[in-house]
Amino acid sequence: MTESAAQAQKPKLTAKKSSFYLAMRVLEPPRRDAMFAIYAFCRAVDDIADEEGDRDERRRRLTEWRRDLDELYAGRTRLRCAQLAEPVRRFGLERADFEAVIDGMEMDVDQDIRAPDWATLDRYCDNVASAVGRLSIRAFGLVDESTPSGKLPEDARLLAHHLGRALQLTNILRDLDEDAERGRLYLPREALLTAGISDFTPEAALAHEGLGKACEEVARVARGHYEASERILAASPARAVKAPALMAAAYHSILDRLCERGFTAPREKVQASKLKVVLALLRYAFA
């Protein structure tokens, strides 16, 4: 692939000081390139899921990505998957995890998700976040490159499980209004009902006086996942977890700030704590 084609395949990071960008900067070049390739794949299929328009056409485009994966894992790489070829070979990235990400995007395409039960929301989080984690931890270095594809150590699998869910639940709480504009409401049905919210249209739920109580329940579950993640990070070699540790610190601080701000409209944008990110950076970046 030419240099210009390679540049065209790189994800556009408009916020160069984002937690993702900082976390990638501390990785060695081959691992960083692998993460950018994973990110580009996720961005591409997520854009399809978030577009307006004909659902059948969006499903067709996601199916095209599945066919691209067929080619990639058969050794016949199409141009838009070219960046993934070397990371897949070098780090043993599992095809099932790429497929799981597409499965999650199809959940958004099939219908605008509104008040899923906890089990459905957990499956969604596994597809769109923890599956990305399972791909990422191989690139991060937590898994030895000689480990056979599909044979993740238990601590690595659990880190992907917990941190992926923690990050995604934080995103859900952060993006309430943005998701509502797309007709979506990811808050779990059980939490809404407990808070006295029975109208699951996004507009009604976000205007209800019980919204904060429902969001607090989601935050409580997210905190449990952060705590589990942080125990694994603390027990792992610092050099292998510096990128996920930075992301955990950034997103955990976003969750804290969301809860401090509250969930009553108007909901001002919340950013990560620079102090907590810098402290994490100092702890892990030079490991």
Single residue among 46, 70, 96 that ends a domain in this structure: 96
Rounded Cα gap, residues 194 and 143, in angstroms: 41
Work out the angle at residue 158's Cα, subtended by the Cα atoms of residues 86 and 45, and round it to the nearest 5 degrees. 45
CATH number at residue 192: 1.10.600.10
Query: Are 192 and 155 in the same domain?
Result: yes
Single residue among 49, 67, 96 that ends a domain in this structure: 96
Query: Are 69 and 119 in the same domain?
Result: no
Is 211 within 8 Å of 198 (Cβ atoms)? no
Rounded Cα gap, residues 80 and 175, in angstroms: 29
Rounded Cα gap, residues 172 and 9, in angstroms: 28
Which helix (H) or strand (E) covers residue 21, if one does?
helix 19-25
Question: Averaged in consecutive runs of 10 residues, what is the pLDDT profile of the chain (287 residues)?
Answer: 37 48 85 94 96 94 97 93 95 96 98 97 98 94 73 92 98 98 97 98 98 98 98 92 94 98 96 91 75
Domain that holds residue 227: 112-287
**Total domains, the chain:** 2
